[in-house]
Amino acid sequence: MTRVASIGECMIELSERPGGLLSRSFGGDTLNTAVYLARLGVAVDYITALGDDEWSEDMLRRWQAEGVGVSRVVRVPGRLPGLHLIRTDPGGQRRFFYWRNSSPARDLFALPQTDEIAAALVGYDLLYLSGVALSLYGEAGRERLFGLLDAARAQGRRIAFDTNFRVRGWPDREIAKAAFRAAIARADIVLASVEDLEPLFGEAGVAELPVANPKVEVVLKLAEPVVRLFHGGREETVPGEPAPDAIDTTAAGDSFAAAYIAARLAGAEPTVAARSGHRLAGAVVRHRGAIIPRAAMPEGMMPVSRTSEEERS
């Protein structure tokens, strides 16, 4: 079975409701993708560091309930997870506010357990990470991570990089540019969007993508629900359905990435995978929060359990 490692950070998530009320959940871009991958039948482990507090315990229980593997989660005594607040405008567009400077996930590649994590990572078939994950680790941590990606690729493993960019996560834009370029250069699949590239690289941000390299699969999401695919020397366009009833765009890109990767791992062509990504993202934006109820997953996307099959027979 193909095994995926999703690397990053999960935080306590507060969503602001009308009147200033807050609801608590958990979220983080690569964690959201891991949850949706697990729902779509992919064997996925989440690679991160947590504290030994009650919120960290609650996170682990929820991830396990979703089918996400937690055997590689490092526990750091005395530390607390990061926290972020989501505020959405009337059109469903979201803004994030972070309190995460002392999050244990930031030290994932500078802990006594790092060597064990490093040895495990090269054994996964696909390693998935994002621009937000890159912002966590600092220069030394990123160099350690890039070395691990190189070692994994040398053993025939694949790398998928999502260009999620949050300017507040970086001390300097030039540092962010260098880190993104290093990650893109190592990726077999690049999941990009103009929403991320233009704030970081400017209007010529698309030029940073290896669209002319037939060995790299580039998925470029445009401002409208359209994806441009570059793979094997070909370019294709896959439109999605507009979602005028969207209420919260949180995790739209994360869920798209999960559905796309899951479809590709199952052998689907890139255009089919992109349509699958559009379909799941379209459902996600119609619900509040990053993780939608299982009952709200689009019909036919989740694997059918043996028990369910037996009940129907």
Pick from 132, 123, 107: nearest CA to 45: 123
Least confident of 58-72, 188-202, 288-302: 288-302
Q: How large is the average pLDDT for residues 202-231? A: 95
Number of domains in the chain: 1
Rama region for 103: left / alpha / beta (φ>0; ψ in -120 to 50; rest): beta
Catalytic-labelled residue, pool 45, 196, 248, 254: 254
Is residue 254 flagged as an active site residue? yes
Q: What CATH code is carried by the domain that includes residue 300?
A: 3.40.1190.20
At 50-59, the pLDDT tens digits run 999 999 999 9
Mean pLDDT of 173-189: 98
Q: What is the mean pLDDT of residues 190-210?
A: 96
| Lowest-confidence segment of 25-39, 77-91, 105-119, 260-274 by average pLDDT | 77-91
Of the two residues 93 and 257, the one the predictor is more confident about is 257
pLDDT at 86: 81
pLDDT value for 304: 60
- Domain limits at 169? 3-312
Q: What is the pLDDT of residue 101?
A: 87
Band of the pLDDT at 18, cuts 50, 70, 90? confident
pLDDT > 60? residue 313: no
**Looking at residues 66-94, what average pLDDT do you find?**
89
Q: How far apart are CA 3 and CA 41, in angstroms?
A: 11
Q: DSSP labels for 146-189? A: HHHHHHHHHTT-EEEEE----GGG-S-HHHHHHHHHHHHHH-SE
Model confidence at 312, pLDDT cuts 50, 70, 90, reads very low
Measured CA to CA, the distance from residue 300 to residue 313 in angstroms comes to: 18
Q: How sure is the predictor about 200, in pLDDT bands with cuts at 50, 70 and 90?
A: very high
Per-residue pLDDT, 246: 87
pLDDT of 309 reads 38
Paired with 221 in beta bridges are 193, 227
**pLDDT for the residue numbered 92:** 64
Q: Can you tell me the mean pLDDT for 105-113? A: 96
Strand, coil or helix: what is 248?
Answer: coil
**147/20 Cα distance (integer angstroms):** 45
Q: Which residue has the higher pLDDT, 106 or 313?
A: 106
